[in-house]
Structure formats: C-alpha cells, structure tokens
Amino acid sequence: MFKSIFGKYLWAFTVILLACITAILLAVSSRISADSYTIQRDTMNASLGSTALVVDSYLEKNGYDTIYTAFTDGSDLQSLIEYSASKSRTDIFVFDKLGLLVATTDDDYANGNYALSDNAMLTMIAHDESYAISTVDGFFGKNRMNVYEVAYQGSTPFVILISMENYSSVVFSKDIIIVAITVALWIFLAAMLSLYVISRRITDPLVEVISAAKDYSKGRFDTKIVYDGVDEVAELARAINDMAASLKHIDEVRNSFLGNVSHDLRTPMTTISGFVDGILDGTIPPEQHEKYLNIISHEVKRLSRLVNTLLEVSRLESGTDLKMSDFNLSETARTVLISLESKISKKNIDISFDTGEDDVYVNADPDSIHRVIFNLMDNAVKFTPEKGSISINIALVSDGRKKRKAKFTIRNSGEGIPSEELPHVFDRFYKTDRSRGLDKSGTGLGLYIAKTSIMNHGEDITVDSVVNEYTEFSFTLPTALVEVAPRRIS
C-alpha cells in the first residue's frame, strides 16, 4: 500500500497516535464523568439534607396537615426550596404520606395532580437507592439523577425528592471531550509536521544514496553524496562515499594492471611470433637460428613468470592450506640474498645483514615465506639507487602478551614512497612510482602476494617510508614450535 519510507512512517505513526489519543480520551472522559457524578451527587445530598431539615422543622411546629398549604407562592418555605434548587441546579419535589405531589420547583409538574406509584413509595420508605438514575417508576418521562429522603412527622412519613433532568456529569464530560479532541487535533497536526520534517531528513539522503548507487553501477564513481550531521544516515553517506573512492581506486588499478599485463603479454608474444615466422620463411638465416631461439626462450620464460604470478595470486585468494613446519628464517633470508647477488653487485649496493648471535627459527610455510622475502628483497634492490644501502634485520620480539615472535625488517635507501601512497602499496595491481617508471617490468602483485601470505599466517606486514630517505617493510611470524639448538657462528 505504501511503498515509500515516508508513507510507511506516516501510516504507522498515524495509527499509533490515534490509538493513544483515543485511549487517553476514553480514560479522561471516564474519570471526569465519575468524578463529576460524585460531586453532583454530593451537592444534591447536601441540598436534600438542608431542605428536609427545614421542612421537618416547619411541620413539627405547625402540624403535619400544613404540608398542603406551606408551599404556596410567596411563602418562606416555597422561596427556600426555590433558592436551594437554583443553587444546586436541580428540582425539588415534596410528596405527602400517600405519594401525592404537594410542592415542586419544576414548572412542568406545578399544575395538575401528580403522585408517586405505590411501588415507588414502598421502595423509598425501604431506603432502596434503585432510583439513583431512573424515571422513579414512571413518574418522570425520562431518566433523571435523583436523591430522596423519607422524613417523619411523628409516625407520618413524607418524601423529599431532589432531581436533575440534564445532569451535569454528562454535560461536563462532553465539554471536556470537545476540548481534549481539539487539543489532540492540534497535537496530531504538530506531530505530522514533525514527522514530515524528520522523515525528509532521513529519506532525502537515502534518495541521494540510491541515485549515487545507480551511478556507481554504471561505473561513474565521481558522484558524491552531500550530507551533514553526525547521525546514522550521515554515517551511511560517508561510508558510501568512502566505498565509491575505493571502487574508483580499484577500477583505476585494475585498468592499469590490465594495461601492464596486456603489454607484458603482447611484447613477448609479438617477439616470439616475429622470430618464429622469420625462421620458418627463411628471413633469418640458419646460422642465426640459435641466437633468435635463445631470445624466444627468454621471452617464453617471461610469459611463464607472469602466468605463475597470476596463479600464485589465485592460489592465495582461494585460501589454499599452508604447509606449516619449523625452519630457519635466517637461512632462508641468506639464500634469497645470495640469489640476488648479481643485481646487488651491478648497482654496488651496501648490504647490512643482522640476525643476532643465533639464527631465528619460525613455524610457517617455507615456500610462501621464501616468496615473501624474495619479493621484499627484489623490490629493495630495484628501488635502491646506485651505491645505496640495504639493511636486513631478523630478531625475536615480544608481542605484548608474553609471547615471542620473529620479526623480519628490510630497509633500503632511496626516493621513498609518498605518504598518500603508503595505504595502497599492498593493494592488488598497485604499482608505486609510476611517474618515474622504475618498475615497468612488474605487474604490481608482489607486495599484494606478500601481504596475503603473511595474513594467511595470522600475522601482519607493515610499511614505513620517508621521501628521499628510506623505505622499510616489516612482518612477524610465530616462532618454531620445537626449540631448535642455536646455530653456532664460526
């Protein structure tokens, strides 16, 4: 029925508010009616008591038979009951011993012969209050509020009845209900206005979110959601803006990666295709076949490394189980360093290798950690300038919970990484220093593989850098499960 949030809020709020107002009106009306009835009845009883006392005193002084002449127009007794009736807003009736009406302040009953029924007289003499709200056994044409008292002059009874035709409990409660309904309507209108303002503050940003989400689905990540405040909706808008920025960054990195991979695939494939065609059609003489076959072999190996890198990423992301074992982390680092000796010597880089007095043993996947260390060292050599320096440190540290871990740290001198790029260096397909083109041959996956591998071990890898000074990578690993005898340093 209601598709919008505002419509649903309006419907639910209206139902709840009307139900509350109705319940309050019923409760207030019921209580006011009860209180009004009690007050009116007390007032009538007070008027009844004073009237009965005066009439009884008069009859006792003048004799019972004067009841038929005591209430003539202008008499003191008639004036008294008329005054008492006007003050209590009631009508007073006086009946003799047979129930015959002898005096009244009600003009409708002033002329003619009216009498109570025998049943009514018996009921009143028995002090039964059945006629509190009634026609007094048909004496009145409709229900009225009644109080009465049976007095005796000697042994002769007479009845004084005080009655109200439009008793004030109903009239009073109706007035209150009208006022309450009027106030409730104003409250309802104010509540609807407040609901409209509040709901618009919620739905307007959501409309912007929906519009922005549609733009994002079409690849337009520059759309921003304008928001203010610190509530949940503003937090949602802020989170979506951050998500859009991340998606834009990922999209840019993906496009860059595809460009790099396409180039890396196209270049060797073009070279291979050209040389193979040259050999087959005789363009390349037989004596040069070996030379060009070596080039083809080199390019094939380049393709193989690229494919292996992509497969490694796929394997890591699929959550392949690690083959955990205890091994010498220090020895692994030495092995990797030796494999890069030619690159290090070519750039005349100064190497500092510190593993303490004893080698450090860890419990991890040896192949995975070898790949991590190779990537970090290869990057360090690649981005260290001529005659620069690289320092490698392996040590045992405490994690703050009385637990020792192995920490590997590698720092190289050089241009460093700008602070705005540091949060992205571990992103998949991300390549730093693009403008200077120092890493044209890379795919931007080395550091992503390193971080993923370390995270699969339940540890973390960090980076720190100062532009034009240094870049430093560190990661931790759990120490070996079985204590290993320290390696003697000769």
Q: Is the pLDDT reported for residue 382 higher than 80?
A: yes
What digits encode the pLDDT tens for the residues 183-206?
A: 778 887 887 788 777 777 777 777
> 95: pLDDT confidence band, cut at 50, 70 and 90?
very high
> Over the stretch 219-240, which tens digit does the pLDDT of each residue have?
787 888 777 767 777 788 788 8
What's the pLDDT tens digit per position in 244-253? 887 777 777 6
| Residue 77 to residue 211: CA distance in whole angstroms | 88
Residue 485 has pLDDT above 70, yes or no: no
Lowest model confidence (mean pLDDT) among 39-48, 171-180, 188-197: 171-180
Q: CB under 8 Å to 467, separation ≥6 — which residues?
A: 415, 416, 417, 418, 419
Architecture per CATH, domain 325-478, reads as 2-Layer Sandwich (3.30)
pLDDT top residue among 71 and 437: 71
Pick the CATH number of 232-317 from 1.10.287.130, 3.50.50.60, 1.10.357.10, 3.40.50.300: 1.10.287.130
Domain boundaries, the chain: 5-170, 232-317, 325-478
Residue 307 has pLDDT above 50, yes or no: yes
Q: Would you say residue 296 has pLDDT above 50?
A: yes
Both structure tokens of 218: 């079409």
Q: Would the pTM of this model clear 0.75, i.e. be above it?
A: no
Question: DSSP letters of 207-272?
Answer: HHHHHHHHHHHTT-TT------SSSHHHHHHHHHHHHHHHHHHHHHHHHHHHHHHHHHHHHHHHHH
CATH of domain 5-170: 3.30.450
